[in-house]
């Protein structure tokens, strides 16, 4: 477990005594991530905001030096996100931003953020992004980059509030504008992170 948090809402209503554990997602918990995706995706009006990732993709994230974090409440995963080594189109975006090979090797791509609809309003997106920043810094990573749909104003507001800068606007094959946001981690003081699952 990385840390425990107190939540204040369930299904949009105030509540008390609701606690969650922020922890690392290991390979034996990938089914929890897939189940969370299915719950989130079933309630989304705009399905283009979140693309599916299967167990082999998640395994690749971990095998290539990345990590996945999530929030569990009473054994149920209610929020998750990941940081991964840049590959494919993400790596191309970093080159387009002017990064060199060394900078790219010291960068994580942060994304695949999901919050169960019953637990929205508890700042879980922010908590998981703060956690990803802290963990990335503790691993010696110097930069973190995330990509967000330009219409996703709630995520965009959270990301910008944590010091990210909008570096690029990219149109994908579906005609959707996505912002590429960047944060340098040199000024982030690594916190003591407990690395247990």
Extract long-range pairs of 26-33: CB within 8 Å, 24+ residues apart: 26/62, 26/197, 27/58, 27/59, 27/62, 29/70, 29/77, 29/197, 30/55, 30/58, 30/59, 31/55, 32/70, 32/76, 32/77, 32/80, 33/58, 33/68, 33/70, 33/77, 33/80
Task: Return the pLDDT at 45.
Answer: 78
Q: What is the pLDDT of residues 75-128, one digit of tens each?
A: 999 999 999 999 999 999 999 999 999 999 999 999 999 999 999 999 999 999
Q: State the residue for tokens 């590429």.
A: 180
Domain 3-184 belongs to what architecture?
A: 3-Layer(aba) Sandwich (3.40)
Distance of CA 45 to the CA centre of its chain: 20
Q: What is the pLDDT of residues 134-186, one digit of tens each?
A: 999 999 999 999 999 998 899 999 999 999 999 999 998 888 899 999 999 99
């Amino acid at each position: 477990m990385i840390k425990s948090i107190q939540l204040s809402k369930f299904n949009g209503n105030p509540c008390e005594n609701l606690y969650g554990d922020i922890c690392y997602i290991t390979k034996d918990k990938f089914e929890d991530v897939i189940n969370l995706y299915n719950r989130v995706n079933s309630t989304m009006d705009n399905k283009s905001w979140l693309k599916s990732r299967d167990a082999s993709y998640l395994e690749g994230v971990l095998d290539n030096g990345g990590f996945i974090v999530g929030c569990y409440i009473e054994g149920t995963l209610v929020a998750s996100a990941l940081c991964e080594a840049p590959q494919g189109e993400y790596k191309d975006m970093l080159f387009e931003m002017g990064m060199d090979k060394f900078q790219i090797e010291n960068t994580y791509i942060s994304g695949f953020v999901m919050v169960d609809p019953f637990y929205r309003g508890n700042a879980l997106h922010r908590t998981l992004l703060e956690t990803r920043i802290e963990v990335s810094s503790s691993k010696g990573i110097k930069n973190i980059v995330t990509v967000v749909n330009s219409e996703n104003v709630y995520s965009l507001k959270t990301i910008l509030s944590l010091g990210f800068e909008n570096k690029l606007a990219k149109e994908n094959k579906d005609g959707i504008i996505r912002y590429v946001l960047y944060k340098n981690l040199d000024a982030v003081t690594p916190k003591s992170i407990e690395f247990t699952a």
